[in-house]
A = this chain, B = another copy of it.
Amino acid sequence: MEKNSVSKATLGRLPHYLRFLRELPKGTDYVSSTTVARELGLGEVQVRKDLNAVCGKGKPKIGYKVFELIESLETFLGYSSMNSAVLVGAGRLGKALLEYDEFEHYGVKIAAAFDCNKQPVKFNNHEILPIDELEQFCKNRCVQIGIITVGEGSAQEVCDRMVESGITAIWNFAPCKLSVPQGVLVRHENLALSLAHLNNTLKNQIG
Q: Footprint of B on A, CB under 8 Å?
A: 1, 3-6, 8, 11-12, 77-78, 83, 85, 91-93, 95-97, 99-100, 102-103, 105-108, 144-145, 147, 168-169, 171, 175, 185, 187, 189-205, 207
A203 touches B78 (CB 8 A): yes
Expressed in whole angstroms, the Cα–Cα distance for A185 and B189 within the complex equals 22
A169 touches B96 (CB 8 A): no
B11 touches A85 (CB 8 A): no
Chain B residue numbers with a CB within 8 Å of A200 are 5-6, 11
Tell me whether A199 and B106 are in contact in the complex, defined as CB-CB below 8 angstroms, given that A11-B193, A96-B92, A194-B187 are known contacts. yes
B191 touches A102 (CB 8 A): yes
Least CB distance from A102 to B in Å reads 4
Question: Assembly of this chain: how many copies?
Answer: 2
B196 touches A11 (CB 8 A): yes
From A83, which residue of chain B is reached at the shortest CB distance?
B199
Task: Give the most central of A77, A147, A175, A199: most B CB within 10 Å.
Answer: A199
A102 touches B190 (CB 8 A): yes
Which listed residue (B100, B107, B192) contacts A196, Cβ 8 A? Answer: B107
Which listed residue (B1, B97, B171, B198) contacts A169, Cβ 8 A? Answer: B198
Q: List 14 A-B contacts (CB under 8 A).
A: A3-B204, A3-B207, A5-B201, A8-B194, A11-B197, A77-B196, A78-B199, A91-B96, A92-B96, A100-B191, A102-B175, A103-B195, A189-B191, A189-B194
